[in-house]
Copies of this chain bind each other. A is one copy, B any other.
Amino acid sequence: MNEFNLIEKYFNWTRLDLTAVGIGDDCALISIQPEQQLAMSVDTLIEGVHFPINTSPADIAHKALSVNLSDLAAMGATPKYFTLALTLPEYNQVWLEAFSASLKTLANRYKIDLIGGDTTKGKLSITINVTGVVPSNKALLRSSAKVGDTIFVSNTLGDAALAWRQIQQNIKPSQNLLKQFNAPEPQVALGQSLIGLANACIDISDGLEQDLGHLLNRSQVGAKINLTDIPLAEEVASYLKETNDWCLPLAGGDDYQLCFTVAQDKVSEVKALEKELGIELNSIGVITKDIGLEYSKKLDQTCSSYQHF
């Protein structure tokens, strides 16, 4: 199987946006509407680091695209195009069919076109570069939180981290936790709806504590967080009752949710959005003038986030 046949067979889908030249030339060509900016992000997933060995190809594809879509969501961008750099240990038709089908399903759901890529031989690794569009100068940034803003997060925290902990302990996680770990849904519609509503926004895939920390840093503000307001799935709440391990939901990572800040006079709009999108949006605290992240009670331990090096 040569690379060209592999691409033709598994990755040359019909494009959604026919204005772009897709796979088959040296580069893809993209036309952009005036009054739009591009948002771009890249993430690599490596077997055994970002997903367990023996994760299904469908879940790998889903997660690889989702984690990138989550970055677009955090800017309020509408997904448009992605490139795929796929490193495979061998040519495995069954694996590629499942990977390709799952990638295509998710790409179609979020209306994002695969416009280019590269396939190479090596340890399983997937790098996806996503491009979205956002109305000019309207993107949600990390740097524009204001003192007095209410801090919200979407859905629940710590689901994926608990699933991963249970897998490592040979406990079978619940379907709900497993779904958040293997096949998280990015909050694309939420991000788009937050344009003009939120003052600042960030994806909390590295864990709320670290990612909210980035937002505070860039905005030169602080925050007070009510731990009792942190939204938790039932399983995570039980785990916390047993262990008091707050670091799991605060720093466990792999939460493809958004954390955003909203001015007081717009908080009611967030509640309306919650109903409209059918997702939970909970206020967890407030932006303060005093630099630093303060919890409503002292944690038993200092949380550490995953570090590659």
A interface vs B, CB < 8 Å?
Answer: 1-4, 6, 21, 24-32, 34, 36-44, 46, 49-50, 71-72, 74-75, 77, 81, 83-85, 87-88, 90-91, 115-123, 125, 127, 129-132, 134, 136, 139, 141-143, 202-203, 214, 218, 305, 307-309
Query: What are 21 A-B contacts defined by CB distance under 8 Å?
Result: A1-B307, A3-B308, A24-B142, A24-B218, A25-B141, A25-B142, A25-B143, A26-B202, A27-B74, A27-B132, A28-B41, A30-B38, A31-B37, A42-B83, A42-B116, A42-B127, A43-B118, A44-B85, A49-B122, A119-B308, A121-B309
A25, chain B: closest CB distance, angstroms? 5
Q: Using A30-B38, A41-B116 as known contacts, say yes or no to A309 and B25 having CB atoms under 8 A apart.
A: no
Chain B residues near A116 (CB-CB < 8 A): 40-42
B74 touches A26 (CB 8 A): yes
B32 touches A38 (CB 8 A): yes
Chain B residues near A218 (CB-CB < 8 A): 24-25
**What copy number does this chain have within its complex?**
2
A44 touches B127 (CB 8 A): yes
The residue on B at minimum CB distance from A136 is: B31
Report the bound CA distance from A309 to B93 in whole Å: 11
Report the bound CA distance from A37 to B39 in whole Å: 15
B39 touches A27 (CB 8 A): yes
A40 touches B122 (CB 8 A): no
Q: Using A29-B38, A29-B39, A132-B27 as known contacts, say yes or no to A87 and B120 having CB atoms under 8 A apart.
A: no
Chain B residues near A74 (CB-CB < 8 A): 26-27
Report the bound CA distance from A234 to B116 in whole Å: 37
A85 touches B127 (CB 8 A): yes
B131 touches A40 (CB 8 A): yes
Chain B residues near A32 (CB-CB < 8 A): 32, 36-38
Report the bound CA distance from A222 to B38 in whole Å: 39
Most chain B CB within 10 A, of A21, A214, A218, is at A21
A80, chain B: closest CB distance, angstroms? 10
Contacts A27-B71, A29-B75 given; 9 further ones with Cβ under 8 A? A25-B141, A27-B130, A42-B83, A42-B129, A44-B87, A83-B129, A87-B125, A121-B308, A121-B309
Q: Using A38-B38, A122-B125 as known contacts, say yes or no to A309 and B30 having CB atoms under 8 A apart.
A: no
B132 touches A129 (CB 8 A): no
